[in-house]
């Protein structure tokens, strides 16, 4: 389970940052930034927050509701940001991920003294105050919380898009390149939410 070891290494505000949606053929990249004070973390969160990949869809949805309730009570602070498929095509998915993270931190409304980022890369604007942690969503509580915000927010967005763009199965595959999704692209053609720079869409 993730804990506050990394957060407690800094005396000031610490934000955890994670993203979701780098690999799909369609939809945005979504990043979340979350501040969970280590000294006053809501007890009701402690047994619900984990790396989003370790949680079942039901548990992940419950964890998100608990996080939202904590935010409404003022116990945590979070911000979200997305980069669209068109932006991804224009600047590439790595730069889009960095941009989403930068936007999310900027929207926190507070200046963290330390930013914990899942992975091994930090956006250039945040690099001077960032610490990258490989596998951070399984180690840092605030990164794990960010992973839940990012994953659930993106999945819900893809389910909404699926109602407006039927035939791709986005409500099930969340934009990943499943057989159902590829068959939809073959029969319907790509939508404006598809990443045209990604194979097989990028083939001439």
Domain ranges of the chain: 7-188
Sign of CA dihedral 70, 108, 10, 1: positive
Residue with tokens 């009701």: 44
pLDDT at 44: 84
Between CA 110 and CA 96 the distance in angstroms is 23
pTM to 2 decimals?
A: 0.96
Note the CATH architecture for domain 7-188.
2-Layer Sandwich (3.30)
- The residue to which tokens 């091994």 are assigned: 120
* Strand bridging mode 114-118 / 14-20: parallel
Under 8 Å between Cβ of 194 and 177: no
Residues of the chain short of pLDDT 70, as ranges, are 203-204
**H or E element at residue 72:** helix 57-72
**Range 120-129 contact pairs with CB under 8 angstroms and sequence separation of 24 or more:** 121/94, 123/98, 123/99, 124/98, 126/101, 126/102
Task: Give residue 204's pLDDT.
Answer: 46
């Amino acid at each position: 389970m993730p804990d506050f070891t990394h957060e407690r290494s800094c005396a000031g505000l610490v934000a955890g940052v994670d993203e979701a949606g780098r690999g799909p053929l369609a939809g945005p990249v979504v990043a979340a930034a979350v501040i969970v004070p280590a000294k006053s973390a809501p007890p009701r969160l402690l047994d619900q927050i984990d790396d989003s990949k370790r949680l079942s869809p039901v548990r992940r949805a419950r964890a998100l509701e608990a996080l939202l309730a904590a935010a409404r009570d003022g116990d945590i602070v979070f911000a979200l940001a997305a980069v669209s498929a068109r932006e991804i095509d224009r600047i590439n998915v790595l730069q889009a991920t960095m941009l989403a993270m930068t936007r999310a931190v900027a929207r926190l409304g507070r200046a963290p003294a330390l930013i914990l980022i899942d992975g091994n890369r930090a956006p250039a604007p945040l690099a001077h105050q960032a610490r990258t942690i490989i596998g951070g969503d399984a180690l840092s509580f605030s990164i794990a919380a960010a992973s839940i915000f990012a994953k659930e927010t993106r999945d819900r967005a893809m389910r909404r898009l699926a109602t407006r763009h039927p035939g791709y199965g986005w409500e099930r595959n969340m934009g990943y390149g499943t057989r159902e999704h590829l068959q939809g692209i073959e029969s319907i053609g790509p939508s404006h939410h598809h990443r045209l720079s990604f194979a097989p869409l990028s083939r001439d």
